[in-house]
Every structure is written in structure tokens, then in C-alpha cells.
Structure 1
Amino acid sequence: MLEDLGKLGPVEQTIASARQVTTFLYAHTRVLDLMRKFLGKDLVRSGVTRFATAYLNLKSLLDNKKDLTRLFRSDELNDLGYLKKAKGKKANKVVRSEAFWKNVDMAVNFFEPLANVLRRMDSDVPAMGFLHGCMLEAKKEIAMRFDNDENSFKVAWDFIDKSSSVCERNWSVFEQVHTKKRNRLLHDRMRDLVFVKFNSILKLKKENKSRDPILKELNDVLEDDRNEFVTGVVPNANGGQEGDHEVTQVQGGASMSQEQAKRKRPVRPVKKKIRSLQSLMRDVSEPAASASSESEDNQDGDILMQVQSSDSADSEDE
């Protein structure tokens, strides 16, 4: 659901604009130190999936809107000189745009109710019994955030009704323990294995009770080399990555073509022997001639046998 919402035109454009701001702040050490000084923390956050990361970062931008605008208006950042460069000008323009902040608020209103459902499902509350009610509440909350204007939230409702139709969890602790390799376990042994495994799951949940299930735990956000809000490299639909600049794409394509040219060896065409028409006629005529000669020999032999038999019959009569 988050992925489908993230591919909407306005939401995707908002994510791209937000990425321009974060990559500028994290591309320079002095700018990054100044940003952490104004905010008192990191701006970028890493999620367990790409669009969970997008939601977390848009929410972080919205929560730190005042500090970010104060940072870009400060004399300390202007004195560094980075705002005069191309990336700095783009980031400064995005932060000062009220239309951008309205789009960020719109995207967060799409994402946040579903993210709350995801957090609820990963808690100690029995998930399947409350899933249907939580999804209905999320749909109502999305509608309320858009003032019940159906034209604004109808597309989000359609996405929710489409992913939720195939949601299913078909694994249990017993099915994980009782496999085909262990189908001869005794009842006491089986009960003990299920008891130990289920209690280990409860212990792990208790230790991670305060953990956000959609947030990836990292010592430093700079360690996440797949975070597009830090690197500026967007993963494409084919599993690869797309850069922000066309120059890198051209250079990358040239290097790939050179490597492919080195790996590919020239293939020599196979020369086929073309037989002449005379040789073909000779092959056809030779079996026919041999067959005719054999038939003539057989006929001569039959005539000779007949003559010999007639001679023997005459001698008997005499």
C-alpha cells in the first residue's frame, strides 16, 4: 500500500524535492554539523523498506520545518558558500516554497494512518483479530484528514482495498516445528519444542517493545548506503539504481559498453560446404545404377536356373 501511494504523481514529486534537501545537507561535512547543531539530531531516518523510509523522512521534515527554515536563513550557512552552488540553490528554493510543505503534509496524511496500522500489527495485540477494524479506522482517518473530500482520498482507498484483499499469514509456531523431517517426534518432545520457541519469541518482543517496527536500527544514518535521502541515488523498478545526474548515467553506460565489448568475442561465421549439382546427381544415379545391375544379375541367374532345370528334366525323360 505504501509503495502504491508513493508512486502517485504528486507524492513522487514531493519525495524527489525532499531528497534534494536531504542530499544537500548530508553531502558536506560542515553543513551536516551545522544542521545537527540547529536541529539537535539527525534529519534523515532509515526504514525497513524504501517507502517506509520515504514516510519517515517526510514526517521528519514536517516536524522540523521551523528549524530547517531557520537554518537556511542563517548567516552561518550563507557564509559557508554552499548555497551559491547548484545543489544549494535547489535545496534553498525547496525549503522556502510553501507549496512544497503543503505537498509534504498531503503525503504524510496518506502514509501515516497506514504506518500506524503496521505498527499496531507488530505489537503484542493479536494481529488478525484487529486487522479489519484497524484498516477501516485508517480509511476513515485518511478521509478526515482530507475533510471528507472524496476526490482527494478516493485513490488511496482504492489502493487499500486492492493490497488488503490478499493479506494472509499462514505460518504458526507449530507449523514451523512440525515439518516433514520432524514428523516422528513424540508428543512430549513436540510440546517442549513449541514451548521453548514461543517463549523465545515473547522474550524477543519484550526486549524490542520500544522499537519502531518500520524503523531500521543503525548507529549512524550515514551507514545506510541504500538510503536515497542520503546518497541521492534512486532505485529503479528493475532493482538497479538511477543517479540524479545524466552525466553519471552516460559515463556508466559507456563503461558498461566497454566491459561488454571486452567480454564478447567475435564469432566467426560457420562456412557451409555447398555441393555442386553434378555431385548430387552422381549420388542419386549411383544407387540407381547399382540397383539396376543387381536386378539384371538376378534376372540372368533366374534364366540360367530355368535352363538347367529344363536340361535335367529332358535327361530324366530319356
Structure 2
Amino acid sequence: MLKDIGKLPSVKLTLSRAMELTGFIYSHAWVLKLMRGQTNGRELLRPAVTRFATSFMTLSSIHRQKNNLRKMFNLETWRQSKWARDSKGKSAERIVHMPSFWNNIVRILKLTAPLVGVLKLVDGDKKPAMRYIYEAMDRAKETIAKAFGDDLSKYSEVFDIIDKRWQDQLHRPLHATGYYLNPAFFYDHPNIQGEDEVMRGLYQVIEKMVPTQDQDKVDRQLDIYRHAGGLFGMEIAKRNRKKKSPAPELQKLAVRVLSLTCSSSGCERNWSTFEQIHTKKRNKLDHKRLQDLVYCKYNQALKERYDCRDSIDPIKLVDIDESNE
């Protein structure tokens, strides 16, 4: 998605200018030292999970240092330097003082920051992501729409990109099933059973992952899950540690699905092969805890005591101040 967004003409031009600016600064030690003096040592380059995420995170860093960069190119020290007379230095200075450059950065960050958040969630090592990815994508789109005041004309092109990639390549029945079987979302969305896409995905997963002789049992046990409400709370989670679950086949399926990790496989990563191999080890203790508490109903008390719902909020827009635009 980020790669496709990066191909849009206005985005491509802004990214090109950002690379030109950072390329000039980081290619000359004197200029880099001057910049760090204005930014209190903060950098513009931001490594990320994929090359495409890196580009957009670097835009965020550049925007945070907007005022400092402008100050830098207004310093008498800069004006008296040889780099101020260099063609690349002049071009970098021109970019920093270009209003359209900053306006475009704000727009691009509004479009991409939620997607970068989802990418971090998907490629995280601490928590299995399958139970969150479906909801995270929905929230990402909602966040983008809200950032533009629900004016579809300002983000329709990006939504087309998101929908195409999501439907053609990324959306799978497992995502819908993880959404349905995650109590944190199920009990907060009373209309979830009316979502055809979710229910279709759920039953596709049951047919695929549950032995034929157990499929009818799982279907019946779904009624327990749907209607038990508070019964799937703290007490039943405690009891399930000591005796047989009232829905063992459904619990087994839920554990399998909710403990799955996701990955943006196929993307170019910045870490080494060694790190890829050794940073995805499964945590058996977390898996056991998930099995014990797979039916915990989400509420604040359970969140604090059992952490049934992940505390990570992947959809956080970059802090953007448009007051000077």
C-alpha cells in the first residue's frame, strides 16, 4: 500500500524533494553538524520495518524539525558558508522555504501514518497480530477519513489503493475469524454477526481448520460464545484453568487463530537475516496464558488484571501542527 501511495505524482515529488534535502545534509559533515546544532542532536532519517515505511517516517521527522530547518538555512553561518553557494545547497534551501513542500508533507502524513501504525503492529514481535489486523485496518481507514473531515475527494485515491491491496492480497478469512473470536472486539460490536464478510470468513476457517467430525460441535459452541455474555468473564477464565472448558473445540480453534503472527513478507526489511530468524520466537508462557483466558470478556478490570486486550494502539497519527501552513 505504501509503495503504491508513493507512486502518486504529488507524493512521489514530495518524497523526491525530501530525499534530496536529507541527502544533501547527510552527505556533508559540516552541514550535518550545523543541523544537529539546531535540532538538539535529533536526526531526520528514521529507519523502519520496510524501505517504504522508512520514507514516510522520514517525512514525519522532517516535519517535526520544520522550524529548526528553516532557522538553520537563515543562519548567517550558513549564508557565509561555501555550501550556501553550492547548487545542491541552494536547492536544499529552496525546498525548506517552499510552502507547498510542507503542505504536501502534512497531507501525506495524514494519509500514511495510520498505515505505518498497522505495519508496526503486523511486524511486531511481542504480540500475535492476527486477532487485531482486521480491526486495525478498519480503524486506519476511519482515521484517514477523519483527518480530512470525511471529505472523500481528498483521500479517495488512497482508499482505492488500500481496498485493492486489502481485497486482492491481504484480506483472508483468518483475519475475519481473528476479529470475531477476539472478545475485546466481539462484545463491543453487537452487530458483528450481521457482517457477511466476517461470518463468511469465520465459517470458511471452521471448514478448513476444524476436523469434519467436530465442525457441528464448534457451530453449536458458537452459540455459547455469542449469548453467554458475562459468563465468559473472569470467573470462567479461572475455572477453565482447573477443569474442562464448556466449549473445548471452539477454544482450541480460537487459540490456534488468535496466537498467529502476521508478517509483511515480501517487503524489503532493514534488519539482517539473523535478526529475522531470531526475533520471532514463540513465547510458550504467553500461549498458555492465551489458552487459559481466550474467552475473557473485555472490560477495564480484565484489561488491567489479565491483559485480554492488547494495550498497543497502532493507529496514532503523527503529531501534526498545521497552524503555520
TM (norm. structure 1) is 0.53
Q: Which amino acid counterpart does residue 199 of structure 1 have in structure 2?
A: N
The partner residue of 1:198 within 276, 282, 298 is 282
Post-superposition CA distance 1:252-295 (Å, at most 9, x none): xxxxxxxxxxxxxxxxxxxxxxxxxxxxxxxxxxxxxxxxxxxx
Distance in 1, matches of 2:120 and 2:130, equals 13
Post-superposition CA distance 1:146-189 (Å, at most 9, x none): 2211111111111111122222589x8999xxxxxxxxxxxxxx
Match of 1:27 in 2: 27
Distance in 2, matches of 1:146 and 1:199, equals 40
- Tell me if 1:103 matches 2:104: yes
Match of 1:159 in 2: 161
1:1-318 mapped onto 2 (5 Å cutoff):
1-39=1-39, 40-121=41-122, 122=124, 124-165=126-167, 166-167=169-170, 198-199=282-283
Q: Report the alpha carbon displacement of residue 111 of structure 1 after superposing the two structures with TM.
A: 1.1
Q: Which amino acid counterpart does residue 15 of structure 2 have in structure 1?
A: I
Contact 2:2 2:52 in 1 (8 A): yes
RMSD: 3.3
Distance in 2, matches of 1:119 and 1:138, equals 13
When you count helix as a share of all residues, which structure comes out higher?
Answer: 1
After the TM superposition, which of the residue ranges 66-75 and 125-134 deviates more from structure 2?
125-134
Post-superposition CA distance 1:123-150 (Å, at most 9, x none): 6444222211111111011111122111
Distance in 2, matches of 1:129 and 1:16, equals 37
Q: Report the alpha carbon displacement of residue 201 of structure 1 after superposing the two structures with TM.
A: 10
Match of 2:220 in 1: none
**Structure 1 segments (4+ residues) deviating >6 Å:** 172-175
Q: Report the alpha carbon displacement of residue 200 of structure 1 after superposing the two structures with TM.
A: 7.6
Q: Report the alpha carbon displacement of residue 11 of structure 1 after superposing the two structures with TM.
A: 0.4
Paired residue secondary structure (1:148)? coil
Distance in 2, matches of 1:107 and 1:33, equals 28
Contact 2:118 2:136 in 1 (8 A): yes
Paired residue secondary structure (1:129)? coil
Q: Report the alpha carbon displacement of residue 44 of structure 1 after superposing the two structures with TM.
A: 1.4
Gaps of 5+ in 1: 176-196, 203-212, 214-318
Distance in 2, matches of 1:79 and 1:126, equals 55
Q: Report the alpha carbon displacement of residue 47 of structure 1 after superposing the two structures with TM.
A: 2.5
Gaps of 5+ in 2: 176-255, 261-280, 287-313, 315-325
Paired residue secondary structure (1:46)? coil
Match of 1:254 in 2: none
Q: Report the alpha carbon displacement of residue 119 of structure 1 after superposing the two structures with TM.
A: 2.0
TM (norm. structure 2) is 0.52
Paired residue secondary structure (1:128)? coil
Q: What is the aligned-residue identity percentage?
A: 34
Post-superposition CA distance 1:174-232 (Å, at most 9, x none): 99xxxxxxxxxxxxxxxxxxxxx633897xxxxxxxxxx9xxxxxxxxxxxxxxxxxxx
Q: Report the alpha carbon displacement of residue 25 of structure 1 after superposing the two structures with TM.
A: 0.7
Aligned residue pairs total 187
After the TM superposition, which of the residue ranges 160-169 and 16-25 deviates more from structure 2?
160-169
Match of 1:223 in 2: none
Contact 2:5 2:161 in 1 (8 A): yes
Change (3 A) 1:95 1:164: same
Change (3 A) 1:46 1:126: closer
